[in-house]
């Protein structure tokens, strides 16, 4: 799934002007994302006369919304806010009573530190399983000395998505930077969104200390969302890929 970047950037400026009646400039693509099977992204834009970005344009060429950075300071906040808006506007996407067949054995695996299993991973897996998804997580409890990239590769061989729970305990395993940045490099090399990150009890500053590459990736945050809400947002992404396949 691709889109014309120049057209998307111009559409962001046009949408902002239509909504606010003022001129915007300097559109910059901050992140790409998948919305209901259509490629899109998060674009920072600046109200003319301002010295720094003031708004986000989030979505796809067909569904694009503008958000003031006062309500969504970071691109990940804008993405999360937009996903909530779309879930409200498209409630049919949350109907999981009938699931189409999938090619792989699991819809997603959850890669996590053992310390996060009982309090977060198990309840999240239970929520997703209750929605009808096949979730694999028992074999992905990471220990010191494990190969992160090998674990991810194993999971993706049998699952369509990898949900990775980043936390203090996760980073406490002292992964080499090359392994952390390799998660993003894998997606970049094939052009498909595969890794769905969750920041559990940490913020961007913590992620930056370990991997600037990962810090730029849009993530769901347990500081902002309950487990049920995180499951719904993950479900939208998984469900959208099924609809597009």
Q: Output the six-digit token pair for 192.
A: 């498909």
> Closest Cα to residue 75, out of 55, 49, 48?
55
Question: Active-site positions?
Answer: 179
Q: Say how far apart CA 104 and CA 156 lie, in whole Å.
A: 9
Q: Output the six-digit token pair for 33.
A: 């994302």
Q: Say how far apart CA 92 and CA 172 lie, in whole Å.
A: 40
CB contact at 8 A, 170 and 183: no
Q: Say how far apart CA 209 and CA 170 lie, in whole Å.
A: 13
Q: Say how far apart CA 15 and CA 13 lie, in whole Å.
A: 6
Q: Say how far apart CA 153 and CA 132 lie, in whole Å.
A: 24
> Closest Cα to residue 86, out of 49, 162, 34?
34
């Amino acid at each position: 799934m691709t889109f014309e970047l120049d057209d998307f950037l111009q559409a962001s400026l046009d949408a902002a002007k239509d909504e606010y009646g003022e001129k915007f400039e300097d559109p910059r693509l901050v992140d790409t994302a998948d919305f209901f099977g259509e490629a899109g992204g998060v674009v920072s834009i600046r109200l003319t006369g301002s010295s720094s970005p003031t708004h986000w344009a989030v979505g796809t060429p067909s569904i694009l919304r503008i958000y003031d950075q006062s309500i969504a300071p970071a691109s990940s906040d804008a993405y999360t806010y937009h996903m909530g808006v779309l879930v409200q506007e498209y409630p049919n996407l949350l109907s999981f009573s009938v699931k189409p067949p999938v090619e792989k054995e699991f819809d997603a695996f959850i890669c996590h530190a053992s310390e996060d299993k009982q309090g977060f991973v198990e309840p999240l897996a239970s929520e997703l399983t209750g929605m009808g998804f096949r979730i694999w997580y028992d074999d992905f409890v990471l220990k010191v000395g494990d190969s992160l990239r090998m674990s991810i590769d194993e999971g993706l061989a049998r699952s369509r998505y990898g949900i990775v729970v980043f936390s203090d305990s996760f980073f406490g395993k002292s992964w080499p930077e090359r392994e952390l940045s390799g998660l993003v490099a894998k997606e970049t090399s094939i052009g498909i969104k595969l890794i769905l990150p969750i920041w559990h009890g940490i913020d961007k500053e913590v992620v930056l200390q370990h991997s600037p590459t990962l810090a730029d990736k849009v993530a769901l945050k347990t500081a902002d969302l309950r487990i049920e809400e995180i499951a719904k947002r993950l479900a939208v992404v998984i469900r959208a890929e099924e609809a597009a396949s």
